Amino acid sequence: MLCPCGCSLTLACNLLLNMRALSVLQRACVRQIALTCSARWRWTESKSFSSTIQEKHTPSNAMFKHLTSKIKATGPISVAEYTREVLTNPVLGYYVKNDMLGADGDFITSPEISQIFGELLGIWCVSEWMAAGKPKEFQFVEFGPGRGSLASDVLRVFSQLRAVLGGTAVSVHLVEVSPRLSEVQARSLTGDLNQVSRSENDPAYRRGTTGTGLPISWYRSLDDVPKGFSIYLAHEFFDALPIHKFQKTKRGWREMMVDIDPEDAERLRFVLVPAPTLASSALIQPDESREHVEVCPEGGVVIQKLSGRIVEDGGAALIADYGHDGTGTDTFRGFRGHKPHDVLSAPGTADLTADVDFSYLRRLAGGRVACFGPVAQRTFLQNMGIDVRLQVLLQNSPDASTRAQLTQGFDMLTDPAKMGDRFKFFALLNHNRLAPPPPAEKGKKRAPAPLPVAGFSELKL
C-alpha cells in the first residue's frame, strides 16, 4: 500500500514505532499541501479598559438592546456575562448567527493556512495512542472545530495510518455549540448532510459517518461525550471562553463591569465596581503581582473535567491557543473583517477573544495530570518536523506559485512576529504515560522507556 507521496505505508508504520524517525514518517504521510496566505491576527499592544479603538458610532442592534435591557434590570454585568451573551446567546449570539471563519469571515485559523498543521497534530494523536499501549477503542474529540478543517486533516492521517491503527475502533466526537457551524462541519466531514441524523433528545444532537468510514457525533458539552480512552484537541477554543477582568486599586482588587454610558445611551462602557465581588474574592491569587488580571473560570472547569477523564480513562489533551504563562494583563479584544474591533461596539457582530493564561490552566489541573508547555507554536511545529516537510514539498512543487504559497504559509505559522511565538501549545497527559518501566525480572529484558512526547522540547530526543 502506498501513501500519497508514494512510499510504502508498511515502512511508514515501522517508522512510527521509532519516535526518533517521526519527521520521516510525517514526510511520508502528507499529501501535497494547499496553502492560503492570511492569518487571524492578534495584536500585541494592549488597549485600555476604557475600550479606546476609535470607530464610527454604530446604531443600536438587537444584541445591544438585549444587553441594555439586562443592565437596566440588574445593573452592570461582568465581562464574562457580556462575552457569553455576545458570543453564544442562542438567538442573537455571534457564533449562532455568523459565518466567522475564512476569507469572508472575521478570522482565519492555522488549519485554514495549511493542511500540514492538522496533519502534524494527527501524527501527535497517533503517537499518544501508541504510547498508551494501543487501546482497542480510541475516541478523537475536538472542541470548537470551526469549519472542520483540522478534523479533516487529522482524519486523513488516521486513514493513511490504517496499518498502524489496525483493528482499533476509532470514533470522532465534536463539541460544538453553533448549529450553523455544526452543519458546515457535517457537510465537510461526511460529504452528505442528508445522511447525518439529528435528534434533540439524544446527547449527540447529530450523528453520521465520516468520508473515511468512521462514526462521528456532535455534542454541545464535554459532559455529553461518552467516557473512554480519548485524545482531545482544543485549537483556538479556550481563547473564546468568557473571562472576568480585574484591576488592582488602593483598596484592593476590583472587578471590571460593562455598563451603559450615562452620557450616551447608545454606547456601552467599562466601569470599576467600588466594592469586592464574589468573583474578585474567589479568583485572585493572594500572591498576584500584576496590576490587571483576566481569569477564565469556565476554562478552568473544562481543564478539571479533562484531567478527571484522562486519569480515569487514559488519553491526552493538546491545547493550542494564543496565550501566556501568567504574565498577560489586558488582552481582551475584538475582531471583525480581519481587523481590530472595539469590544463594546455593535455587540454580536464581531469575535471577542482573550489570551489564555496557561499558568491558570496548570493550577486548575491540580497535579492530577502531567502538564507540558506552554511552548511556542514555532518550537512545537519544528519539533514535529515542519522544516523537513517544507523542503520536501518545495522540491516536489510543480510551479513557482505553489512554492510561494508554501513558503508564505510556513512563514505565517512559524515567524515569531506573526503566529510563531504568539501561539502556544500545552498538553495534559496521564502520569502513567511518563512512568519509567519497573525493573526487569531475572532473566528478562526490561520494558522500553516511555516514548517522548512529540512536539515538546522537554522530552525531545
163-206, pLDDT tens digit by residue?
Answer: 999 999 999 999 998 888 999 999 999 998 888 999 988 999 99
The CA-based angle 409-188-24, given to 5 degrees, is 45
**pLDDT value, residue 95:** 84
33-44, pLDDT tens digit by residue?
Answer: 222 222 222 222
| Banded model confidence at residue 100, pLDDT cuts 50, 70, 90 | low
CA distance linking residue 235 with residue 144, whole number of Å: 7
Residues 131-159 have a mean pLDDT of: 96
Half-sphere exposure of 237 (CA within 13 A, CB side): 29
**pLDDT value, residue 461:** 33
Element holding 292 (H helix, E strand) = strand 292-295
Tell me which of 4 and 115 has the higher pLDDT. Answer: 115
**pLDDT value, residue 98:** 63
**pLDDT value, residue 99:** 56
Q: Are 143 and 178 in contact (CB under 8 A)?
A: no
Tell me: pLDDT of 15 over 50. no
310-343, pLDDT tens digit by residue?
Answer: 999 999 999 999 999 999 999 999 999 879 999 9
Q: Which long-range contacts (CB under 8 A, 24 or more apart) does 7-14 make?
A: 9/160, 9/161, 9/162, 9/163, 10/163, 12/160, 12/161, 12/163, 12/164, 13/161, 13/163, 13/164
Element holding 306 (H helix, E strand) = helix 297-313
Q: Are 123 and 454 in contact (CB under 8 A)?
A: yes
Tell me which of 262 and 446 has the higher pLDDT. Answer: 262
Tell me: pLDDT of 411 over 80. yes
Mean pLDDT of the chain: 84
Residues 284-305 have a mean pLDDT of: 97
CA distance linking residue 429 with residue 231, whole number of Å: 10
Burial profile 54-83: b = 16 or more Cβ within 10 angstroms, e = fewer = eeeeeeeeebbebbbebbeeeebbbbbbbb
CA dihedral angle for residue 372, residue 378, residue 382, residue 383, rounded to 10 degrees: -10
The answer for 237, left when phi > 0, alpha when psi is -120 to 50, beta otherwise, is alpha
Tell me: pLDDT of 108 over 90. no
CA dihedral angle for residue 141, residue 142, residue 148, residue 149, rounded to 10 degrees: -100
Tell me: pLDDT of 385 over 50. yes
Q: Are 364 and 420 in contact (CB under 8 A)?
A: no
Residues 242-263 have a mean pLDDT of: 97
Give the residue from 239, 388, 373 showing the smallest Cα distance to 302.
239
222-250, pLDDT tens digit by residue?
Answer: 999 999 999 999 999 999 999 999 999 99
| Banded model confidence at residue 31, pLDDT cuts 50, 70, 90 | very low
Give the residue from 434, 385, 435 showing the smallest Cα distance to 20.
385
Pairing of strands 252-260, 268-272: antiparallel
Tell me: pLDDT of 19 over 50. no
Q: Are 119 and 29 in contact (CB under 8 A)?
A: yes
Cα 184 to chain centroid distance, Å, stands at: 18
Enter the pTM of the model: 0.84
Half-sphere exposure of 382 (CA within 13 A, CB side): 13
Tell me: pLDDT of 142 over 70. yes
Cα–Cα distance list, 218 to 7, 204, 272, 274 (Å) = 35, 5, 40, 43
Least confident range of 26-35, 193-202, 389-398: 26-35
Alpha carbon distance, N-terminus to C-terminus of the chain: 30
48-99, pLDDT tens digit by residue?
Answer: 344 444 444 444 489 999 999 999 999 999 999 999 999 999 889 988 776 5
Surface-to-core class of residue 259, CB atoms within 10 Å of its CB (0-12 exposed, 13-18 middle, 19+ buried): middle
Q: What is the DSSP letter of 8?
A: B
Residues 12-26 have a mean pLDDT of: 38
Least confident range of 17-26, 136-145, 205-214, 278-287: 17-26
Q: What is the DSSP letter of 248?
A: E
Tell me which of 363 and 399 has the higher pLDDT. Answer: 363
Report residue 58 as a C-alpha cell: 454604530
The CA-based angle 159-100-44, given to 5 degrees, is 100
Give the residue from 418, 415, 428 showing the smallest Cα distance to 382.
415
Residue 202's identity, in one-letter code, is: D
**pLDDT value, residue 101:** 52
**pLDDT value, residue 440:** 72
197-206, pLDDT tens digit by residue?
Answer: 999 889 999 9
Question: What percent of the chain has a predicted confidence (pLDDT) above 90?
Answer: 68
CA distance linking residue 58 with residue 332, whole number of Å: 20
Tell me which of 101 and 256 has the higher pLDDT. Answer: 256
Tell me: pLDDT of 280 over 80. yes
CA distance linking residue 51 with residue 344, whole number of Å: 7
Residues 137-141 have a mean pLDDT of: 98
**pLDDT value, residue 44:** 26
Report residue 118 as a C-alpha cell: 492538522
**pLDDT value, residue 314:** 97
CA distance linking residue 318 with residue 44, whole number of Å: 24
**pLDDT value, residue 438:** 78
